[in-house]
Amino acid sequence: MMDSLFQWFQDPGNLRIMAALVGAFGLGVLSLKLISRTRGSQKSKKSSASQGDEAFFKGIQYILSDETDSAIEEFTKFVQVNSDTIETYVALGNLYRSKGDIERAIRIRQSIILRHDVDQEIKLQALFDLGLDYKKGGFLNRALDTFLQVAEKRPSDLKVLKEVERIYEEQRDWENAFKTRQKISKLSGENHRNILAHHLVEMGKAKQEQGELSKAKSYFSKAISTDQRCVDAYLHLGDLLFEKGDYKKAISTWKKIVHVAPQFTYLAYRRLEGAYSKMKNLKPIEDFLRESLALNSDAFTHLALSRYLYSQDDLEGALREVRRALELAPQLWEARRFQGHILLAHGRDQEALEAYEELLAHLDVPFLKFQCSQCGLEPPDLQWQCPNCKHWDSITLVETSLSKDSTRSDRVLWKLPYRPEEK
């Protein structure tokens, strides 16, 4: 019980609901006392106040027990006794939204906005809450229009601007998302270059799909100028150059990833291999892979070097590199499979059997496991923006390995450099 209460109070939204309800309760009690004095019906009002108090405290208990329906019922009784407590209506709207009853939540916000005796700031908050209701209900255009109305009145409200930006992102309106993030960065005084760079890359992708390659190239280049660690920009700029047949520039662009983010070398390797094959010269691949290993000795690159050496008939060199890959990542089943393939192809059956026996022990343990450092989501592949919490560059690669007692254990292999907005 105590654990559930602690988790409930950890949610900022729940804390706001509780604060509003406590404030509403205090105002309700005060208003009832004043009314009872002026109207002279003290006994009747005390009875109503008592009923309201009981409903309020029951509502609190139901919230803490995560019984939303019962909490709504009790708070509805409370506002029937204390009809002037706007804060309780706000809390009721939030409860309806959390329950998924968007229609009722919207009606409550609209009733607050239309009231003449309500302070303008409260109306603006109700308008913001209405935007959240629309968003929760999937009415993105209505939500955007609503948030923009609030932004007109509160142009420096970061909370509102972030909601506007998220909707632009969901609608893939990257230009407006970029402009909104510029405002957020300026107002917060924080460095959001990585997010701005991702927006520019997305604009470039859209132009590339439309066949406007010159504009696409300009956006990719601008993204790199904005954030030199934007791996996605290097990848797509290189792809564009490759499509145009400019293999040397494509190779030069992809190779920069080794220096700005060596943990992503594996994303460039296949591209480089394709470009060098077009040029009928695979020798620079070896130089690239060895340079990569000098900067960041990882299992992926050792495996890639093993494949290259094997293609060049360097059997012992290939086996040496694949074994180094397995020393770094024993559960990398692709490396074990490749090792077995080499051994079988050269009649080393006993060694191959031993390699495949080790492979079987690791088949149920995926090597490439990704996780968001912000919300814990485990996407099936690498993504630059978490599809759940919408944070950029928050996906980490987590190594899942077998410990000595055959239980699974995880550790973070890499994550992008710390960003101020991850606070």
pLDDT tens, per residue, the chain with 423 residues: 444 444 444 455 554 555 554 444 444 443 434 334 444 444 444 444 454 445 444 544 554 455 556 555 555 554 444 445 667 667 777 777 888 889 888 888 888 888 887 789 989 999 999 999 999 999 999 999 999 999 999 999 999 999 999 999 999 999 999 999 999 999 999 999 999 999 999 999 999 999 999 999 999 999 999 999 999 999 999 999 999 999 999 999 999 998 898 888 888 888 988 888 888 778 888 888 888 888 888 888 898 889 889 888 999 999 999 899 888 887 777 787 888 788 778 878 777 667 666 655 555 444 567 889 888 888 888 889 999 999 999 988 775 443 333 333 343 333 443 333 333
Give per-residue burial for 247-276: e unless 16+ CB within 10 Å, then b.
beebbebbbbbbeebbbbbbbbbebbbebb
Dihedral in degrees, nearest 10, Cα atoms 109, 112, 113, 114? 120
Of the candidates 223, 293, 282, the residue with the CA atom closest to the CA atom of residue 258: 293
Note the pLDDT of residue 411: 39
Name the nearest CA neighbour of 224 among 253, 188, 245.
Answer: 253
In terms of Cβ atoms closer than 10 Å to its own Cβ (0-12, 13-18, 19+), residue 396 is: middle
Strand partners, 371: 396
Q: What is residue 153's predicted lDDT score, i.e. its pLDDT?
A: 95
Picking from 263, 283, 261, the residue whose alpha carbon sits closest to that of residue 272 is 283
First to last CA, the chain: 29
* CA-based nearest residue to 416, from 386, 387, 388: 386
What CATH number should be reported for the domain holding residue 95? 1.25.40.10
pTM over 0.85, yes/no: no
- Name the domain count of the chain: 2
Measured in residues, the chain has a length of 423
Of 147, 172, 197, the position where a domain reaches its end is: 172
Q: Is residue 343 part of a domain?
A: no
Would you state the pLDDT for residue 410?
Answer: 41
Residue 420 lies in a domain: yes
Phi, psi of 92 (to 5 degrees): -60, -40
Query: Could you tell me if residue 371 is inside a domain?
Result: yes
**276, two tokens:** 């060098």
In a domain, 33, yes or no: yes
| Domain of residue 130, residue span | 2-172
Joined together, the tokens standing for residue 26 give 């205090």
Structure confidence at residue 217 (pLDDT): 97
Check residue 362 and give its pLDDT.
52
Q: Which of 392, 238, 403 is nearest to 415 (CA)?
A: 392
Sign of the C-alpha dihedral, residues 60, 63, 64, 67? positive
**CA nearest neighbour of 76 among 96, 100, 103, 106:** 96
Of 185, 269, 194, 186, which is closest to residue 232 (Cα–Cα)?
194
Partners of 369 in the beta sheet? 398
Whether 341 is in a domain gets the answer no
Classify residue 244: in a domain, yes or no.
no
Among the three residues 172, 191, 222, which one is the final residue of a domain in this structure?
172
Q: How many CA atoms lie within 13 A of 87 on its CB side?
A: 14
Question: What is the DSSP code string of 158-191?
Answer: HHHHHHHHHHHHHTT-HHHHHHHHHHHHHHHT--
Nearest one of 135, 138, 111 to 122, comparing CA atoms: 111
294: which 2 tokens?
Answer: 């000098």
Helix (H) or strand (E) holding 417: none
Distances (CA, A) of 61 to 5, 57, 402: 11, 6, 45
Containing 390, the helix (H) or strand (E) segment is none
Strand order from edge to edge, sheet including 369-372? 369-372, 395-402, 408-414
Q: Where are the beta strands (DSSP E) in 200-304?
A: none
Domain end (from 172, 192, 211) = 172
Q: How many CB atoms lie within 10 A of CB 181?
A: 24
DSSP class of 422: G
Residue 98, SS3? helix
- Residue 202 belongs to some domain of the structure: no
Instruction: Note whether residue 309 is domain-resident.
Output: no
Q: Which of 109, 152, 111 is nearest to 131 (CA)?
A: 109
